[in-house]
Structure 1
Amino acid sequence: MYTQAALFASFVGLAASAVTNTNLQTVFPATSGTTALAAVKTISAGQSFDGEMKQWDRSPSTCNDQAEGGDADAVFLLQDGATLSNVVIGPNNGEGVHCLGTCTLNNVWWTDVCEDAATFKQNSGTSYVNGGGARKASDKVLQHNGGGTVAVKNFYAETIGKLYRSCGNCDTQYARKSTFTNVKVKDASVLAGVNGNLGDTTSISNSCLLNSAICWLYEGNSDGDEPTKTASAPDGKVCATSTIKTSGC
């Protein structure tokens, strides 16, 4: 069993050896074991769960390519105010993490994203993604279906579609906010997709984007239709940027 001190020291050592900016880890961590769950694991409201850097998966797998899944297809289901830390989520799941209210994800990694890595459903408030990373997502990594804010910091992603998407056609829509600080995205279609007509805003700062678009703006709806893209670059209002590098980082 890993102690908290040993886990922290291991994480710091990895981060120090493989970063582009302070606190940004760009090497996927080794796992300390594997766990396969027969059903989604629920973290109660206000509680914290430390996965001890094990790889967590579902058995049998709930991955069904890009078919939209529900809470039962996730590995972890976080109730309002829950925190999930030090977890590596494997490929055998349709929906990695579902947050029913605000949540905090600390040092959570997805090795091979199926449908979505994490879905945020809070009505209001702020959910945090601190550290961690994701790869091999044919579409979205962070899906924002609820309201409030998703704040992402020190996150790494490679070979993905969208790092973040504000839902373009949910039955209930919100003016969503997202922030990205010190993230590195490599070989992505786009970092963020947001709905300008619904009052969304996103800000991206001190980040590195390699072979990746910064943001796409959409005209969102609540009738289930595929949303229309209205812009393919930052406009300074719906999508604002500061200190973005596209090479040498």
Structure 2
Amino acid sequence: MTRKTIVGITALFVALGFSANAFAAKDYPDGFTKCAQNKGESCSFSGTRQVALGKSGDFVYGTFTGGVTCSSSNFPSNSYPGSAWCSYGPAGSGGDTGGGTDTGGSSSSGTSNSCGSGGGTEVCVSASGGNGSVSLSWNVSGSVTDQQVYRDTDSNPSGRTRLSSVGSNPRSFTDNSASNGTTYYYWIKFRANGTYYNSGVASATPSGSSSGGGSTGGGSSGSYGSSCNGGNTTTVTATIRVEDGGTFDGGCNTYNGGGALGDGSQDEGQDPIFRVGPGLVRNVYIGGNGADGIHTRNGGDVDNVHWSDVGEDAMTIKDPTNGASVYANNIEGYDSADKFLQANDDATWTVNNCRVDNAGKFLRQNGGTTFPLHVDVTNCDISNMGEGIFRSDSSNSTARITNSRLSNSGDTCIGSWSSCSSSGITNY
């Protein structure tokens, strides 16, 4: 998790009026006081405070009284290096904002804090899986902008897997990959303005489905995709480059292509809004001119990105990637005339929690190429594909889609593949 933020080139700063450190990432959140390094040092304060552990703009949070030893073992994640810092929030930051209410509904087990709490910035519920599905619902008081849902079959939060982001109220999430009869532990983390905190979730109500895997009816996208809805708009006239392990966090603001980036059409010569790799672009809303979206090289990843109107492509794996792993989590996009995802070099591409509607194809390997591409798609809602989901001309490539919802999606596998499969699919 040790990353630095590297954004753009000098021309971009001049064109947009940014200073050279406009996106500098600090080792403590705004309003917090740095107090100790992650080497077992003591962080002391009065009263109950929210405490952040992190580095370079990436943090986890806990709530403590009278002080805490700055050690990864005291926080929800244990992966922060010794060079990370603890910092404490202002007086009163550790308090519950109160007012959450149980949404009701059938519950086989579980209320808030019924399993490992992970440091006070989340609630946890346990639930027994029905026939392929567990639904969670909850209400939150206060101006919460994002919830993250995690799952494990053990109550220890250290090994849990992130499933989804949830944004709207009332909050809900359906886990379509739950096995019948298995007890799962779900953690709900919540935040506002980029900061995780104890938001007043009084309880969450789980219910197991007995009617088969997947949600049913209506074509609703549920909680699939990105939680970003757009915010302050920046017109990008020169590609923003995020490299050398850096992170760009857009705060779910809107980024539109402009100037030399093109007009967001199907012109193959357009440049991307972001070029990432190795590194991470997250919490970005791409507006009406998506240019050529996001280019990734050398294992560049994206998380929580929304394309409101896809230009030439939403995301493209470019040379060099050389077999690196590429992750696209919590992504959402609309109106891609040709393809949503494009692969121009060999890679292992993992896509988790997506919502894609109205595209020619969900994913295309560059036509006529035979390099090995390995694609794994799970927990997605894909609808209205003009041709289909996966297309390749390479007998060296593999593709798989699991635990997803499809509507008017065309053929799953088109062209030559070493293997191409689907399982756990709900058609609506």
Corresponding residue of 2:421: 240
TM-score (ref. length: structure 1): 0.80
Q: State the match for 1:128 in structure 2.
A: 327
Partner residue, 1:66: 266
In structure 1, how many angstroms separate the alpha carbons of the residues matched to 2:174 and 2:262? 34
Counterpart of 2:251 in structure 1 is 52
Q: Identify the residue that residue 366 of structure 2 maps to in structure 1.
A: 167
CA distance in 2, matches of 1:12, 1:120: 27
- Contact 1:69–1:115 under 8 Å retained in 2: no
1:240 and 1:28 mapped to 2: Cα distance?
A: 29
Q: RMSD of aligned C-alpha atoms?
A: 2.7
CA contact (8 A) 2:145 2:167 kept: no
The Cα of 1:18 is off from its aligned counterpart by 6.6
- Structure 1 gaps of 5+ residues are 220-234
The counterpart of 2:168, out of the listed 1, 7, 14, is 14
Letter in 2 for 1:76: F
- The residue aligned with 2:275 is 77
Which residue of the partner structure matches residue 310 of structure 2? Answer: 113
Instruction: Label 1:157 to 1:15 Cα distance change in 2 as closer, same or farther (>3 A).
Output: farther
Change (3 A) 1:115 1:105: same
Task: Report the Cα offset of residue 174 of structure 1.
Answer: 0.8
Q: Once the 2 structures are TM-superposed, how far is the Cα of residue 113 of structure 1 from its aligned partner?
A: 0.7
Match for 1:194: what amino acid? S
Match of 2:131 in 1: none
- Structure 2 Cα separation of the partners of residues 113 and 20 of structure 1: 27
Q: CA deviation at 1:238?
A: 1.6
* Match of residue 177, structure 1, among 369, 374, 397: 374
**Rg (Cα) greater in structure:** 2
Residue type matched to 1:186 in 2? S
Task: Say whether the 8 Å CA contact 1:153–1:180 is kept in structure 2.
Answer: yes
Whichever residue aligns with residue 152 of structure 1, its letter is V
> 5+ unaligned residues in a row in structure 2: which ranges?
1-28, 31-58, 62-143, 149-164, 177-221
CA apart distance, 1:64: 5.6
Q: What residue identity is the alignment partner of 2:305?
A: V
| Larger helix percent | 1
How far did 1:123 drift? 1.4
Q: What amino acid is the match of 2:166? A: V
Paired residue type of 1:150: W
1:15 and 1:90 map into 2 onto residues whose CA distance is 24
Percent identical among aligned pairs is: 26
Q: Which residue of 2 aligns with 1:39?
A: 238
Matches within 5 A, 1:139-150: 139-150=338-349
Equivalent pair of 1:24/1:183 in contact (CA under 8 Å):
no
Runs of 4+ aligned structure 1 residues displaced above 6 Å come to 2-5
Task: Give the SS at the match of 1:139.
Answer: strand
**Against the structure 1 CA distance between its residues 24 and 238, is the aligned structure 2 distance closer, same or farther, given a 3 Å change threshold?**
farther
Aligned equivalents of 1:148 and 1:25: distance in 2? 24
SS in structure 2 at match of 1:182: strand
Q: Does the CA contact (< 8 Å) of 1:103 and 1:128 recur in 2?
A: yes
Q: Give TM-score, length-normalised by structure 2.
A: 0.48
Check 1:241–1:16 CA distance in 2 against 1; reply closer, same or farther (3 A cut).
Answer: farther
Partner Cα distance (2:167, 2:290) in 1: 29
Task: Tell me if the contact between 1:141 and 1:163 (Cα under 8 Å) persists in the aligned partners.
Answer: yes
List per-residue Cα deviations over 1:120-176 (Å, max 9, x = no partner). Answer: 121111100101200011111110111021100010011111111111235xx4111
Cα pair distance change 1:192/1:21, threshold 3 Å: farther
Q: Is the 8 A contact 1:54 1:88 kept in 2?
A: yes
